[in-house]
Amino acid sequence: MRLRIQRYDPDQDVKPYFKDYDVQLEPTDQMLLDALVRVKEADDSFSFRRSCREGVCGSDAMTINGKNGLACITRIADVKEPVELRPLPGLPIIRDLIVDMTQFFNQYHSIKPYLINNAPAPDKERLQSPEDREELNGLYECILCACCSTACPSFWWNPDKFVGPAGLLHAYRFIADTRDEATNERLDNLEDPYRLFRCHTIMNCVDVCPKGLNPTKAIGKIKEIMVKRAV
């Protein structure tokens, strides 16, 4: 299998460059991540993140033939050769396919991604009706791989100010949670020309999400709730 991988070691290289690899696959190699492991066997200076290798941890997000995705759930049979791999765009490169996700996680933390409820805890769990729980489907599944946010031009231009699709999806996950009591504070926190309204609904996030989620829809629902609150 032929791969064309962007390499960069800030200690040695002046700027990133592409290196071609030809690797022999075993019959058990089904996913792109398996091919990357073969590359690593052949050239141990090559670096990338990986962990669960089944699309749950979100570590091996990268740009695969121009589109962000997870190497571990991208089938080798589905990608066109030579497969061009780049690190996620818009974030500082640490080395090869490894990027510095600090800005991404700063935005995630800024929306307070936890349930806020100061009422005394009941004896058992805080209950939700099945209908209320239904609203959280398509939100809680996000694995924070950053494929969406790094595909978003608004996040490229203002990663320090715009929350980004992943963060906003999580923001709506807590706004939509009937057990959460901080809805107003959450909306106040987002009502800002940069934090929320940098989203111009171009839907790159929906296009790339490896989990098939829809951050644009979640962002639309946040705006809808804001309208309800204000009008």
Partner 1 sequence: MVNRVIVGAHYGLRDWLAQRVTAVVMAVYTLIVIALLLADAPTDFAGWKAWFAQGWLRFATFLFIISLVYHAWVGVRDVLMDYIKPVGTRLLLQVLVILALVGYGGWALQILWRA
Q: Which residues bind partner 1 (CB under 8 A)?
A: 153-154, 157-158, 160-161, 188-189, 191-198, 200, 223, 226-227, 230
* For helices 215-230 and 164-175, angle between their N-to-C axes, nearest 10 degrees: 50
Q: Which is nearer to partner 1, 83 or 163 (CB)?
A: 163
> The tokens of 104 are what?
């991404």
Distance CA 169, CA 108 (A): 10
Q: Check if the beta carbon of residue 53 is closer than 8 Å to that of residue 28.
A: no
Q: Minimum distance from CB of 152 to partner 1 (Å)? A: 12
- Least distance in Å: CB of 189 to partner 1? 8
Complex with partner 1: residue 189 or 214, whichever CB lies closer: 189
The backbone region for 38, taken as left when phi is positive above 0, alpha when psi lies in -120 to 50, beta otherwise, is alpha
Smallest gap from residue 175 Cβ to partner 1 (A): 14
Other Cβ atoms less than 10 A from the Cβ of 43: the count is 13
Which of residues 95 and 195 has its CB atom nearest to partner 1 in the complex?
Answer: 195
Instruction: Give 109 or 126: the residue with its C-beta nearer to partner 1.
Output: 109
Give min distance, CB of 41 to partner 1, in A: 42
